[in-house]
Amino acid sequence: MTAQVTLLLTLLLYTVVAVHASLRSLARSRILARWAHVAVVLAFALHTLSLGQRWAVAGHLPVVGLRDIATALAWVVVLVFLLVNAAARLEALGLAAFPVAFALTLVASLTSPSGRADPQLQSLYLPVHATFAVFGGGALFVAFVMGTLYLIQERELRTRAPSFFYYFAPSLERCDTLGGASAGVGLTLLTLAIVSGMLWSHAARGTYFSGSAKEWSAVSAWLIYVVLVVVRHRSGWGGRRTAVLAIAGFPVVLFVFAWLTWAMRFAPTTS
Amino acid sequence: MILIVGVSHRTAPLAVREALAFPSEQIPNHLKRLHEGTGLAEAMILSTCNRVELYASADGANAVDSLVSCLATSHEKSRAEIEDSLYRLAGDDAVRHAFRVTASLDSMVVGESQILGQVKEAYQIAESAGTLGSALSALRNRSLAAAKRVRTATAIGRNAVSVSHVAVELARKIYGDMRGRQVLLIGAGKMSEIAARQLVAGGAHATVVGGRRFERACELANALGGTAVPFETLGQELARADVVISGTGAPDIVVSRAEVERACATRRHRPLFLIDIAVPRDVDPTVRQLADVFLYDLDDLKAVAEANLRERQREAGEAEAIVEQSVRDYLDWQRSLDVVPVLVELRQRAEQIRRAEIERARKQLGPLTAQQEEAVERLTSAIVQKLLHAPSVQLRELAGHGHPAADASFLRRLLGL
Torsion sign, CA atoms B72, B78, B79, B83: negative
Cβ-based contacts under 8 A for chains A and B: 63
pLDDT above 90 (res B241): yes
Query: CB–CB of B235/B229 below 8 Å?
Result: no
pLDDT confidence of A196, banded at 50, 70, 90?
very high
B199, B243 Cβ separation under 8 angstroms:
yes
Average pLDDT, integer, range B91-106: 94
Q: How confident is the model at residue A270 (pLDDT cuts 50, 70, 90)?
A: very low
Strands B243-246 and B51-57, bridge-based pairing: unpaired
Provide the 3-class DSSP secondary structure of residue B202: coil
Q: Is the pLDDT assigned to residue A265 strictly greater than 60?
A: no
A264 pLDDT more than 70: no
Residue A54: pLDDT over 60: yes
Name every chain B residue with its beta carbon within 8 A of the beta carbon of A236: 268, 270
Please write the tens of the pLDDT for every residue from A82-109: 998 888 888 788 888 999 999 999 988 8
Rounded to a whole number of angstroms, the distance from the CA of A158 to the nearest CA of chain B is 6
Residues of A with CB under 8 A from a CB of B: 28, 30, 153, 157-158, 160-162, 166-167, 170-174, 177, 234-241
Q: Do A28 and B177 touch (CB under 8 A)?
A: no
What class is the B2-153 domain? alpha beta
CB contact under 8 A, A170 and B176: yes
Whether residue B263 contacts residue B237, with contact meaning beta carbons closer than 8 Å, is answered with no
Q: Report the share of chain B in percent with pLDDT over 70.
A: 100
B323: left (phi over 0), alpha (psi -120 to 50) or beta: alpha
B403-414 average pLDDT score: 85
Closest by CA to B170, choosing from B242, B253, B254, is B242
Q: Flag whether pLDDT at A269 surpasses 80.
A: no
A240–B314: do the CB atoms touch at under 8 Å? no
Q: Is residue A271 pLDDT above 50, yes or no?
A: no
ipTM over 0.90: no
* pTM of the entire predicted model: 0.76
Average pLDDT, rounded, for chain A: 86
Q: Cα separation of B127 and B44, whole Å? A: 9
pLDDT at A24 over 80: no
Classify strands B2-8 and B51-57 as parallel, antiparallel or unpaired: antiparallel
Asked if the model's pLDDT at residue A28 lies above 80, the reply is no
Q: Which pLDDT value is given to residue B237?
A: 93
For residue B415, the one-letter residue type is L
CA–centroid distance for A76 within its chain: 6
pLDDT at A237: 81
Parallel/antiparallel/unpaired status of strands B51-57 and B42-47: antiparallel
For B353-379, write each residue's pLDDT tens digit: 999 999 998 888 888 889 988 999 999
Instruction: Give domain limits for chain B.
Output: 2-153, 163-305, 339-415
pLDDT at A135 over 60: yes
Residue A99's Cβ-count burial label (10 Å; 0-12, 13-18, 19+) is middle
Contacts of B276 in chain A (CB under 8 A): none
Instruction: Answer whether residue A251 shows pLDDT above 50.
Output: yes
Q: pLDDT tens across B171-195, in order?
A: 999 999 899 999 999 987 788 888 8
Q: If you write DSSP's letter for every residue of B243-282 in order, what string do you get?
A: EEEE----SS-SB-HHHHHHHHHTTTT--EEEEE--SS-S
**In whole angstroms, what separates CA B370 from the centre of its chain?**
62
Lowest mean pLDDT among A125-129, A198-202, B210-214, B410-414: B210-214
pLDDT range class, residue B255, cuts 50, 70, 90: very high
> Span B309-336, mean pLDDT?
88
B49 catalytic? Reply is yes
The rounded distance, in Å, linking the Cα atoms of B12 and B75 is 16
Mean pLDDT of A255-267: 70
Between the alpha carbon of residue B357 and those of residues B166, B349, B377, B379, B388, the distances in Å are 77, 12, 11, 12, 17
Q: How many CA atoms lie within 13 A of A263 on its CB side?
A: 16
Is the preceding omega at residue B280 within 30 degrees of 0, hence cis?
Answer: yes
Q: Is residue A100 within 8 Å of residue A77, measured between CB atoms?
A: yes
Separation in Å, CA of B172 to nearest CA in chain A: 7
Q: Are the CB atoms for B277 and B163 separated by under 8 Å?
A: yes
Mutate to test the interface with A, among B269, B272, B283, B314 (most CBs of A within 10 A): B269
* B227-229 β-sheet, strand order: B227-229, B205-209, B182-186, B243-246, B272-276, B293-297
Q: Could you tell me the end-to-end alpha-carbon distance of chain A, in angstroms, rounded to an integer? A: 38
Reference B102, options B138, B129, B135, B139; nearest CA is B139
pLDDT grade for A268, boundaries at 50, 70 and 90: very low
Could you say which of 3.40.50.300, 3.60.40.10, 3.40.50.720, 3.30.930.10 is the CATH number of the domain covering B163-305? 3.40.50.720
Q: Which residues contact B251 (CB under 8 A, 6 or more apart)?
A: B280
How many residues are recorded in chain B?
Answer: 417
Between B81 and B170, the more confident residue is: B170
Q: Which residues of chain A are within 8 Å of residue B170 when distances are taken between CB atoms?
A: 157
The reported pLDDT for the residue numbered A229 is 93
> Stretch B72-81: mean pLDDT, rounded?
86
Do B277 and A131 form a contact (C-beta atoms < 8 A)?
no
Instruction: Give the closest residue to A114 by CA, choosing from A266, A264, A1.
Output: A264
CA A223, A229, A232, A234 torsion-angle sign: negative
| A166–B307 CB contact, under 8 Å | yes
* pLDDT value for B75: 87
- Reply yes or no on whether the pLDDT at A38 is more than 70: yes
| Cβ neighbours for B280, distance < 8 A, ≥ 6 positions apart | B250, B251, B252
The side-by-side arrangement of strands in the sheet containing B2-8 is: B42-47, B51-57, B2-8, B87-90
User: Which residues from B are below 8 Å from A166, CB to CB?
Assistant: 173, 307
Per DSSP, the three-state class of A238 is coil
Q: What one-letter code names the amino acid at A190?
A: L
Instruction: Judge whether A240 and A172 are in contact, CB under 8 Å.
Output: no
Strands B205-209 and B182-186: parallel
> B217 touching A, CB under 8 A?
no
- Local structure of B43: helix, strand or coil: strand
d(CA B67, CA B54): 7
Residues B175, A171: Cα–Cα separation, whole Å:
6
Domain segments of chain A: what residues?
118-269
Interface check for B175 against chain A (CB to CB < 8 A): the answer is yes
Nearest chain A Cα distance for residue B162, angstroms: 15
Residues 225-244 of B with CB under 8 A from A: none
